[in-house]
Amino acid sequence: MKIAMIGTGYVGLVSGVCFSDFGHEVVCVDKNPQKIEMLKAGEVPIYEPGLDALLERNVEAGRLSFTTDLAEAMEGAEAIFIAVGTPTRRGDGHADLTYVFAAAEEIARALTGYAVIVTKSTVPVGTNRKVEEIVRATRPDAAFDVASNPEFLREGAAIDDFMRPDRVVVGVESDRAKGVMGDIYRPLFLRDFPIVYTDLESAEMIKYAANAFLATKITFINEIAALCEKVGADIKAVSRGMGLDGRIGNKFLHAGPGYGGSCFPKDTSALARIGQEHASPIHIVEAVIAVNDAVKRRMIDKIVDLCGGSVNGKTIGVLGVTFKPNTDDMRDAPSLTIVPALVGAGAKVRVTDPQGRREGEALLPGVTWVDDAYAAADGADAVVILTEWNEFRALDLRRLAGNGGSRVMADLRNVYAREDAVKAGFADYAAVGR
Ligand SMILES: NC(=O)c1ccc[n+]([C@@H]2O[C@H](COP(=O)([O-])OP(=O)(O)OC[C@H]3O[C@@H](n4cnc5c(N)ncnc54)[C@H](O)[C@@H]3O)[C@@H](O)[C@H]2O)c1
């Protein structure tokens, strides 16, 4: 099976590399010539654990290659995947489909024989039909089908998620396209991973509904955490006690500084817009978006309170700025709300992150970057744990607290316990929901 993958970002690159590892012949295309140059040189433009080795193995086996030329990539391809970005459109919160539609037009112009055009990008209901219309309008003669194949991988665990998915969702409406999609995912089907075949609209909706549900779960526990602080309950115990209920499950029940990242903020926003446009508002998701914004602001207040009511002139060491550990992705990270607010309030902010600096430097003006947690804490008035990288989970708290006895810690990921922090020499400690 020959596959063309359009877009070599977090999803396209991981999907392309994993499909080639299934044994398919994959050509990955990107508009960005620097990305393609890097990939041709065997370098991975993003940080995703394990991706470099898998990429190397499949390039060496001759199954995986990279180009900026879509027509070349599409030669003989039976499936053409669209994995370009669908960011939030400025102004109205809707998904910006410019890149998807542009890719559809480019595909239409380069189509030769029959191919299935598969949308992997997260797109609003109805988009696959529009892709079909665009291709049909440009090439009324062409033989093709469209398919919706939303992606559920998580950055930081993307390869394992792709290779061992909870399910694969495929929206298709012709037997021929279903056959092609079945061949592509046969290695997973043979290992009993469920493949859910459905219509185009349901496949598109499954992705938004799943992401909105997970964002709701996080936001629910964050709101309960705020109440725990008021009533003297401990969110860690509450989450555990709730999560052991099989109907609830323990995932996505960790209180923190609010969700961020490349998916939840834009997908909740797009789903809310879709609901409004169809006069069927999704009130729960609208509330989730508002509450999540409030959660992030509550974290700023928490840090300021811990610093005695003002951070003006104070030095604050921030540990972790990526939206979660094991990725370099900074899109919509809570740090992008919290850190600028501290800088704006007059704090001198020192930041450390194992992978976040390359993206983060331009996004967080006015901060100083340092190499590790101890350098961030050195001489600081406060230490803030914003992203729970493994590097920050077993720190020497005595060393972090320093000798002065006046440093405080805001542990926004509930990594440590208050008594340990105080025993180690922190003057005060604040967590989330405890
Ligand atoms: N990042 C995730 O964790 C994740 C998970 C599931 C689904 N998704 C969805 O997958 C899609 C892609 O997300 P991403 O994070 O990989 O985006 P990304 O921004 O990392 O990558 C998109 C890539 O597409 C390229 N591109 C855009 N238009 C192109 C064109 N016409 N031809 C060739 N290349 C083109 C860009 O240069 C870029 O490299 C989005 O719809 C997103 O919602 C993302």
What pLDDT does residue 200 have? 98
Protein residue whose Cα sits closest to atom 18 of ligand 1: 9
- Please identify, by atom number, the ligand 1 atom nearest to the C-alpha of residue 29: 33
Q: Tell me the average pLDDT of the chain.
A: 97
- pLDDT band, very low/low/confident/very high, at 318 (cuts 50, 70, 90): very high
Neighbours of 411 (CB within 10 A): 23
29 lines ligand 1 (CB under 6 A): yes
- pLDDT band, very low/low/confident/very high, at 268 (cuts 50, 70, 90): very high
Here the tokens at position 179 are 């056959």
Q: Give the Å distance between the CA of 7 and the centre of ligand 1.
A: 6
- pLDDT band, very low/low/confident/very high, at 248 (cuts 50, 70, 90): very high
What pLDDT does residue 160 have? 98
7 lines ligand 1 (CB under 6 A): yes
Q: Give the Å distance between the CA of 160 and the centre of ligand 1.
A: 19
Q: What is the mean pLDDT of residues 276-305?
A: 98
Substitution candidate for ligand 1 out of 8, 10, 167 with most atoms within 8 A of CB:
10
What pLDDT does residue 153 have? 98
Ramachandran region, residue 132 (left: φ > 0; alpha: ψ -120 to 50; beta: rest): alpha
Helical (H) or strand (E) element with 4: strand 2-6
- The residue from 28, 228, 263, 307 that is catalytic is 263
Q: Give the Å distance between the CA of 6 and the centre of ligand 1.
A: 9
Q: What is the mean pLDDT of residues 19-24?
A: 98
Cα 20 from Cα 16, distance rounded (Å)? 6
Task: Name the one residue in this structure whose structure tokens are 């919509």.
Answer: 332
Report DSSP state, residue 203. H
Q: What is the pLDDT of residues 349-387, one digit of tens each?
A: 999 999 999 999 999 999 999 999 999 999 999 999 999
CB neighbours of 276 closer than 8 A, spacing ≥ 6? none
- pLDDT band, very low/low/confident/very high, at 327 (cuts 50, 70, 90): very high
Q: What is the mean pLDDT of residues 36-51?
A: 97
83 lines ligand 1 (CB under 6 A): yes
Q: What is the pLDDT of residues 159-199, one digit of tens each?
A: 999 999 999 999 999 999 999 999 999 999 999 999 999 99
Here the tokens at position 53 are 């080795």
Substitution candidate for ligand 1 out of 47, 84, 89 with most atoms within 8 A of CB:
84
8 lines ligand 1 (CB under 6 A): yes
Least trusted range by pLDDT, from 87-91, 123-127, 211-215, 428-432: 87-91
Protein residue whose Cα sits closest to atom 24 of ligand 1: 7
Protein residue whose Cα sits closest to atom 7 of ligand 1: 151
What pLDDT does residue 106 have? 98
Instruction: Mark whether 263 is an active-site residue.
Output: yes
Burial class for 35, CB neighbours closer than 10 Å (0-12, 13-18, 19+): buried
**pTM of the predicted structure, to 2 decimals:** 0.96
Q: Give the Å distance between the CA of 9 and the centre of ligand 1.
A: 5
- Please identify, by atom number, the ligand 1 atom nearest to the C-alpha of residue 329: 1
What pLDDT does residue 199 have? 98
What pLDDT does residue 193 have? 97
